[in-house]
Each structure stands twice: as structure tokens, then as C-alpha cells.
Structure 1
Amino acid sequence: MVTPSEGPALCARDAGNMAAAVSCVARCARRSAWTALLERSRPRFLCTAAGGSGLLSALHRRGVLKEVFPESAAHFELPQLLQSGPQCVYCGFDPTADSLHVGNLLAIVGLLHFRQAGHDVIALIGGATARIGDPSGRSAEREPLSAEALERNVRGVRRSLQQVFGHHELLAGAGAPRLGAVTVLDNAAWYRGWDAVDFLSSVGRHFRMGTMLSRHGVQSRLRSPHGMSLTEFCYQLFQGYDFYHLQQQHGCRIQLGGSDQLGNLMSGHDLAHKMTGQEVYGLTVPLVTSTTGDKLGKSAGNAVWLNRDRTSPFELYQYFVRQPDANVDRQVYLRLFTFLPEPEVDHLMEQHSLDPGKRLAQRRLAAEVTKLVHGKEGLESARRCTSVLYHDSLQALEQMSDAELQELFREAPFLELLLEPGTTVLEACRQARAVPDGGRGFALVTEGAVRINHSRVTNPEQVLIPGQHILSNGLTLLRVGKRNYYILKWLNL
């Protein structure tokens, strides 16, 4: 590696003249200055608190917390503040889609841990900041959202947050310690009264260009082919003002965010501290990645959504059941995404290691996350769908609703049909357009390519029998070949 002190000599030798050496000295000096600035402001890991018994120590051991800002807070100030009485903690979620996803879940879980410890939490929806676009972790600027799309996204994100908070409260039970209050806000509410001149005059004067340029997210974008727009560069001002506003209006002194939000957290800390003189704190949760190292999110094209209309309880459940052992062991998802006590997690991992093929850890993880996101009913639905799809359970199929079947077989046609007396297997297949007309359709049945409610049928002239071909819920699950499903709903039973 070339050090800053070696850089000028090497550049001069390669260029062969004094002008190149002088130019390189300047470049190396600037690079050294940026590096020093970044190192001075970089938060440290919470390792010093790991051996303690407080909330921060417990969350650090679980892997839920990664870094704290400012550094000294991990030692004394923040633990003492949390022990002094209920505090207010907030985390922001920009509505860039109409649902949150698994990549957002760890930040929500972080808020829930604070709530479970008796602290009040605020989930802040960025109805205003989503119009600007957070540049963190992105190589190009986001596409602007229309007013209609933004309004739809705000509603969807609010639904994601409210359902998880609501299910967590139900799962905690009546005998649990006092839970902190939950507030869901939209930052569009306090930006409507600002104009650009007033905002820059009141807020912008507290920011310094050198500090803003030193942020890792800004540096990486400035070096990218797309560069960075002024709009994106100013995102730090709005994110910082959010912290100050919540501090003033709600007494909020702690902000939680993903580790890719570190620069934004630092901006918020700096602004709030400058404008009030009061110390505030930033905490980060680690980014959850796939086995290939990609961040879980819609930008990476691998989003698993929290809202049921985007990802069903069954799909969410199966996502975690299918997690490879490498993820379960390396990131210990049971500690990250559930509220199971650490001794129970250790015991589960020991049992899992005895026979990994049973996927004991994955199945418990999937159950806990599905309950948190979709409630106990959602978990029951996921298990019914699992029994229907992978275990050919007729009982589970008979218990399923129309909506569950359509979630399970998203690509399957759903047809509502009138049952005529004497309707045969072949006629039902043709009404569903599951087999072609003529001899080929007849042959598909006789050759055993058709299954009704998991059972193979080979007689095209067999009359449909309620209780066998038509379940008590009025449904028939028709399959032709290995993957072609059709859901028939009989209306006149």
C-alpha cells in the first residue's frame, strides 16, 4: 500500500517533473485531511458495554446494536440516561414503497426492545424526506415520486408499522412489564410551514460544508459516475432537523438507524447539540445481508415485504425456513429477529447442530417472525399453506379461505362456477380451461395428469362428488401436470 508520505515521491518519479510532484503533494494532503476527519468522527463499536447488565449491553450481545455516537456515550452517559427513567427513541422510515420489508425489520425490532424496556418510541415516516431521496447506500439518484404514489406509500408504511407494533403488544401479554408508548408520525407535518429561505437561514447556517462532504455516503457518490445532486446532498439538513424537532416537541434524545444511516445520525446529533446545547445520541443496527452479501431490500431486487398484500404470511414464513445454516449461524437470526431469551437461543442452536436437516432453528425463527409481522392468525395461515403445498393435507385445504388459497397459488386462476347436476371431472377441467378441448383433454385425465384436491383422477366421466371433489368450504383445487393449479369456487352449493 502507498502511504501519504510515499505518494509524492512515487508521483514525481512516474511523471518525471517537479510540477507532478507538487500536484501530488496537494492531492495526498487533501486525502490525508479527509481520512483524519473521518477517523475523528467515526463512532466506535459498543464493545465496552458488552460485559454490562443494562439494556445496551443486552442488545449488543444479541447483535441488535452495532455503533453509538458520540463514542463516550457507550461508557457512561447513555446507560445512565436509560436507567434514569423512560426515554424517547425514534427511527425514521422513508416511504419509497407502499410497504416496509425484511430489510427494515431489524430497526423495528430495535425500537421494540426499547419499548419492552419501558421507553417510549416514535416511528417517523418520511413523507417529506422521501421527496428528496436518501442517497445512503445508492449509486444513483432515486426516481422522484408523484404526489399520489407518495400518499399511497405513506399509508402502506404506516400499515406496516402499526401491524408489527400491534402484534408485539398482543404477544407481550397482560403479565408483561409496562410497555412504552408508540407514536407514528409523518415529517411532512412540520415541513409544510417552511419556505426554502427560512429553512436555509434557520437550519442551514448550523451545517459546515467540510463535515457534510466528509460523510462516507457523500464521498462514495461524488466518486461515482452519476455524481450527486444538490437535492440529495441537502438530505442531511432535513434528516438532522427531524432529530432537532423531535427533541424539542417530544423530548426525544436517541435516534436509531441502520449502519448505512450513520452519516445522517451524526448530522442530526450535531444540529440538535448546536441548537440546544443538550447532548443527544445515535445508535445503529447492523445491515442484514443475504448469503451473497447484498443488503436485503427492494433496491437489491430481493425484497420480502411486511404487508400481506405484497408478501403473504406463507411466503414470509418460507423465506425464513429456507435460510441457509450459514446465515442462521453467522448472523444468529434468532437473536436478531426474535425476543427469545438468550439461554433459549443457545439451547435451540445446540439442538439444531445435532441434526441440521430438521431445520429446527429455521422453523422456530420463521414462526417467531411470522407471529410478529402477521400475528398468530398469520402463523396459522402459513402453517396451513405449508401443509397443503408440501404435505398434501386435505384437512388443511378444507380449512383454507378463498383469500389464503389465492395467496398460496398467486399465479393460479381463481374461477367462480355454477355447479350443474351431473358435472363430470372432464367438464370441470374444461370449464376451468385447464385442459384443451377434444381428445387431448380426455387423454390428460385418463393418463393421470389431473389431480383434484391432491388425489389423482383418471376417469373423465366421473361425476363430481361433494366432500371428495368439492370440499366443505365450496372449493376445488385442480392441478394439471406438476405446477398448473386452478382454484374453483362453486357458488350454488
Structure 2
Amino acid sequence: MNILEDLRARDLVNQMTDEAGLEKHLTEDRVSLYCGFDPTADSLHIGHLLPILMLKRFQEAGHRPIALVGGGTGLIGDPSGRNEERQLNEESVVQQWVKNIENQLSRFIDFSDEQTGAKVVNNYDWLSQMSVIDLLRDVGKHFSVNYMLAKDSVESRIENGISYTEFTYMLLQSLDFQRLNQRENVTLQIGGSDQWGNITAGLEFIRRTSEEGEDVEAYGLTVPLITKADGSKFGKTAGGAIWLDESKTSPYEFYQFWINTDDRDVVKFLKSFTFLSLDDIHALAKEVEERPEQRIAQRRLAEEMTRMVHGEDALNQAQRITEALFGGDIKNLTKEEVEVGFKDVPTYHLTEGEKGLIDLLVEAGISSSKRQAREDIQNGAVYINDEREQDLQYVVNHEDRIDNAFTVIRRGKKKYFLIRHDA
């Protein structure tokens, strides 16, 4: 199975130019291809994963991936897929984000692979050297306004307004493709489905600026927009985006995102995001049909993705926290693991070495009054480190501390509270 056949089998092809020509090109040659990533934040998020993993798939198939980090275009803003203008960031901020993103990309693409010659490039290197006259004469003259207005990324913004700054983004991305075609022999640009207009504009620019009679080979391919069966946006949770930076989204949170995948989505996500064989995915699909309650496919998806993004150690930690929280073995967690697992839980700082349970429940806001606290304890609704406590005289002491730092109190089935010991 060649690379295009594998992509089709995984439903990873949305659009492509000259399908027969591209298939022949990929079969007969070692192709250089690129995908661009604009630094719009200090980290990439899982919405970027699909194109990143596309580059990785091409590299594993023997082709040469180039990751373009848009230090230049990131200062302008891509109107594609947006209803309003992006906020412009300071140049120093954007360039720092470029470095962060370059480091993140190196987790997925082997830039030391001499055989493929994979590399990272920054379009700031050439865009910053152009004058406005260069841009208008050498690039702008090849694009008619009518052609640009017909592109979805522009047309969808006309009603609400689009600045000239974002209107010119298409020119800059087209220039990127042409420069990489000339300097790195890049013949294929890939991207999300919202990039189709920019990609085809780049192909047109390459054609218009090639020598008369020269047969320049260049293609475009987009991946589909990932959607969720329940209609919610992929990659978003109540807490916001799922980032690839572990300081913004912990490996445990990352693991939980994937393990909570809907049964209707899990097979699609396994095909799109993992490198499991199609036979393995078919077997997991059967598990979803026959034993959905065991969530075998979701666990495998969470394992594969957490290992790929954060490494084996982070995966092991995420699994330990998960098993402790859902298996009632909280006491075996470390201080760091408790902090990660109960990141969003209300926290009360206890400055005394010991505290009566009733007083602690009231002071920490776990129970509304001493009367309510007594009822909660007597009714068996209070758990200390996941062990039920019904003694009204119980005193929370050093023996209840996890790693000498925390005590976890649960009221009812799901309401967790974290006691941080400061004494």
C-alpha cells in the first residue's frame, strides 16, 4: 500500500490537485513537501496534530518533510476559517513562539534523518527582507483582485469586513510555496481543508512565475476538518484548548481527553491520529461494537497519543493517576501526581497539624454548617483519601496526608476537595 492509498483508507484526504499526477509523482520520486504552522500562541494544540502527523506519515514513507514556521506570516494573520481579525502580536513575542513551536515539531518529525533531509524553515527569513515595492511588483502583479475575492477565506469575510493586511495573507503564503519550490524542490503543500484557497493560489503563482515553456511539477493536498459526532468542536473542552505543551495541558489531562472519546468517534480518531495498522484498528472497532463498556479502543487511543506527544514516562504517570482516581488507590500517589490529578478541585490550606473532621468540613466549605457536616458523616457521604469515614469524633492528622502534603476529601460521589497541609 503506497502513502496515498494509506491516507485514503484512513479518510485523510479531503482535496488534491491532479490526483493521478500526484500519485505517480509519489510513487516514482522521493518528494519534498511542506506544511506551514503560524505561531499564534506559545504552543501548538491538538488542532495542529493532523497536519503534523501527515508530515510524519510522509517521512515514514521515505519522503522529505519540511515544516514551515510562519515567523513572518504569523505577524500578519491568516483569515482562513475565522470570522474576525486576529490580534496582532509584537515581533519579539512571535519570534519566541517560533522557537517553542520548532521544539514541539521536533517531537514528531526527525530532523536529524539524513536520508529524508527533513528540516524546519522560518518564512521570516525571506519575508522580512522584502520591501513593500518588491511585494507589489514581484508578487501582487500576478494576482487579480477578482481571483482573490473568489477564494473562500476572503469571500466569507467580505460581509463582516477584512483588513488589507489579512487580505494580502494569500500572497505571502503563495510566495512561501514558490520559494520552497525553487530553493528546496518542494513539489507538494499539505494543510487543513481551510487552506485549500491558499494552496491553490500558491500553485497558480508558481505557474505564473516559472520560465516560459517550463513544466513545473507542483501539487496540493488537504486533510479533512475533524468533527465530533455530538457536534462539539474537536480539541476543545470546558477548560479550553488541549495544548501540546505539558505546562498548559498536563499529560494526565491530555490522556483523559482521548480516553473520554465518544464511541462514535473513536475508530475515526484511531485512523486519523495513530500509526496503528488498519488491521489493528479494525480489531478495535470490533471491540467497540461488542464490548463498548470496556472502552478498550479509547484506552488504546489515549495510550498511543499520550506516548507520542509526551513520552513513555508521562504516559505511565497519567495511567497511575487515572487508576488511583477511579480505583480508589489515591494514597499511593505522589505529591506531584495529586497536584496534577486534582488541578481544578477546590483547595483549602490547613495551617494546623490536626483538625477535627466536622470543623474541617465547615471551614473548607465542604459542608455548609456543622449540622450538615454531622449529617454528611453519619450518612456515609464523607470520604478521606477515598475511604469512608463515619466517626463524628474523627480528627484529620498526619496519617491522612498523601506524601506529607495533601489530604483528599470527597463528599458524595463526585465532589472532591483538596486539603493542602501548610504545617
Distance apart, 1:267 and its partner CA: 1.1
Asked if 1:246 is matched to 2:180, the reply is: yes
1:285 aligns with 2:285: no
**One-letter amino acid of the counterpart of residue 287, structure 1:** L
Which residue is equivalent to 1:236? 170
Map Cα deviations across residues 68-113 of structure 1 (whole Å, 9 max, x no partner): 12x2xx21x3233323443222111112222222221111111110
Q: How many residues align?
A: 415
Stretch deviating more after TM superposition (180-189 or 193-202): 180-189
Determine which of 403, 407, 414 is the counterpart of 1:477.
407
- The C-alpha deviation readout for 1:1-48, integer Å capped at 9, x for no partner, is xxxxxxxxxxxxxxxxxxxxxxxxxxxxxxxxxxxxxxxxxxxxxxxx
1:132–1:374 Cα change, 3 Å: same
Report the AA paired with residue 209 of structure 2. Answer: M
After superposition, residues 77-96 of structure 1 pair within 5 angstroms as 77-96=21-40
Distance in 1 (alpha carbons) for counterparts of 2:203 and 2:141: 15
Q: CA deviation at 1:408?
A: 1.8
Matched, 1:65 2:13: yes
CA contact (8 A) 2:357 2:396 kept: no
Aligned to 1:269: 203
How far does the alpha carbon of each residue in 1:412-468 deviate from its partner, in whole angstroms, 9 at most, with x for none?
A: 466887885xx35549948984669995697488545543322233354546354xx
| 1:43-192 → structure 2 map (5 Å cutoff) | 53-69=1-17, 71=18, 74-75=19-20, 77-147=21-91, 149-165=93-109, 180-192=116-128
Matched, 1:315 2:245: no
Match of 1:350 among 255, 270, 286: 286
Q: Is the 8 A contact 1:115 1:180 kept in 2?
A: yes
1:432 touches 1:488 (CA, 8 Å); kept in 2? Answer: no
Q: Does residue 296 of structure 1 match 2:234?
A: yes
Residues 176-211 of structure 1: CA distance to partner in whole angstroms, max 9, x if unpaired? x99734423322222221121122212222223332
Q: Which runs of 5+ in 2 are unaligned?
A: none
Contact 1:135 1:141 survives alignment (8 Å)? yes
- Quote the offset at 1:283 in angstroms: 0.9
Report the secondary structure of 1:241's partner residue. Answer: helix
The question of whether the paired residues in 2 share the 8 Å contact of 1:416 and 1:488 is answered with: yes
Secondary structure of 1:320's match?
Answer: helix
Identity, % of aligned positions? 34
Task: Rate the CA distance shift 1:320–1:106 in 2: closer, same or farther, 3 A.
Answer: same
Alignment correspondent of 1:255: 189
- Aligned amino acid, residue 94 of structure 2: L
Residue 363 of structure 1: aligned partner: 299
Label 1:382 to 1:450 Cα distance change in 2 as closer, same or farther (>3 A).
same
Computed over aligned residues only, the root mean square deviation of the Cα atoms, in angstroms, reads 3.3
The structure that has the greater radius of gyration is: 1
Unaligned runs of 5+ in 1: 1-52, 170-176
Q: Would you say the 8 A contact 1:88–1:252 is kept in 2?
A: yes
Does the alignment pair 1:195 with 2:123?
Answer: no
1:389 to 314, 320, 325: 325
- 149 and 290 in structure 1: CA distance in 2 versus 1, 3 angstrom threshold: farther
Change (3 A) 1:154 1:405: farther
In the superposition, relative to structure 1, how do residues 250 and 487 fare at CA in structure 2: closer, same or farther (>3 Å)?
Answer: farther
CA distance in 1, matches of 2:74, 2:8: 30
**2:339 matched residue in structure 1:** 406
- Equivalent residue letter for 2:228: S
Within the alignment, does 1:456 sit opposite 2:400 as a pair? no
Q: Are the equivalent residues in 1 in contact too, given 2:307–2:315 (CA < 8 A)? A: yes
SS of 1:163's equivalent? coil
Q: Is the 8 A contact 1:115 1:181 kept in 2?
A: no
Q: Give me the TM-score of the superposition, normalised by structure 2.
A: 0.86
CA positional deviation for 1:390? 1.8
Deviates more, 1:149-158 or 1:358-367: 149-158
SS in 1 for 2:420: strand
Distance 1:274 1:295 in 2: 38
Deviation at 1:401, TM superposition (A): 4.5
Decide whether the 8 Å contact of 1:133 with 1:142 is kept in 2: yes
Alignment partner of 2:107: what SS? helix
Aligned-partner SS, 2:186: coil
Match of 1:9 in 2: none
Separation in 1, partners of 2:237, 2:313: 30
CA contact (8 A) 1:412 1:487 kept: no
Q: Distance in 1 between matches of 2:91 and 2:419?
A: 38
Residue pair 1:103, 1:287 contacting (<8 A) in 2 also: no
CA shift for structure 1 position 63: 1.2
Confirm whether residue 204 of structure 1 aligns to residue 148 of structure 2.
no
Inter-partner Cα distance in structure 1 for 2:131 and 2:80: 25
TM-score normalised over the length of structure 1: 0.74
